[in-house]
Amino acid sequence: MSDADSPRFTTLALPSALLSNLDSLGYLAMTPVQATALPAILDKRDVIAQAKTGSGKTAAFGLGLLAALNPESFAVQGLVLCPTRELADQVAEEIRRLARAMPNVKVLTLCGGAPFGPQLGSLEHGAHIVVGTPGRVEEHLRKGSLDLSRLTMLVLDEADRMLDMGFQASLEAIIGQTPASRQTLMFSATFPEDEQKGSIRAIAAGLMRDPLRVKVEETH
């Protein structure tokens, strides 16, 4: 798809503040995964998307999270789980960039390897979106410092890698603390085809309601 043919973000029902910020970031045309997944995400559908590294998956779910957010409520409304601290930091940074037009929106990272105490303090101040690694997020849930009872959107980023790293039990424990009414999004660079128990497909089947499956080959 050439840039001239790519749909523009302005074709989406996004709040105008988000659109003008995208313009200032130089995000004009959507990447293919954004063009396919975002309309469904904004329509509140569950989505399973596969697209290569560098294809703009973060903005696809990040804009979905921000568009659905109620900034007046300080409950955690969005949770993004990532396999590593580095990836979680990158995702949080991109969501903060996308959220520049929404100055009151708080994005908090909760990752292992970082001290626990300051995370408790940050949680007490409240956050709209939490980005974290499964182990640490589960620990906060167990200790009662994180409440996901008002979550509206759950994102599993690099879901294949999280399973490879043995996070399945943590993921299940976390998901069990979220409302069944939530919207669930899964993003991955690869989706192994097998249907075995514990595979990404088996997990997705138990988690998602009539998901839209998006598979994109090209990056831009």
Interacting residues with Mg ion (CB under 5 A): 57
Q: Which does 166 bind (CB under 5 to 8 A by kind): Mg ion, ligand ADP, none?
A: none
Cβ of residue 55: shortest distance to ligand ADP, in angstroms? 4
What are the b/e assignments for 33-51, b being 16+ CB within 10 Å? Answer: bbbbbbbbbeeebbbbbbb
Interacting residues with ligand ADP (CB under 6 A) = 27, 30-31, 34, 51, 53-59
In terms of CB distance, is 129 or 141 closer to ligand ADP? 129
Nearer Cβ to ligand ADP (87/208): 87
Q: Which residue, 63 or 203, is less far from ligand ADP as judged by CB?
A: 63
Nearer to ligand ADP, 15 or 123 (CB): 15
In angstroms, the CA 4 to CA 56 distance is 18
CB of 55 to Mg ion, least distance (A): 8
Alpha helices in the chain (DSSP H): 16-25, 32-42, 57-68, 85-98, 116-125, 134-143, 159-164, 168-175, 200-207
Q: Work out how close the CB of 54 gets to ligand ADP at its nearest, in angstroms, rounded to a whole number.
A: 5
By C-alpha distance, which of 99, 160, 154, 103 is closest to 132? Answer: 154
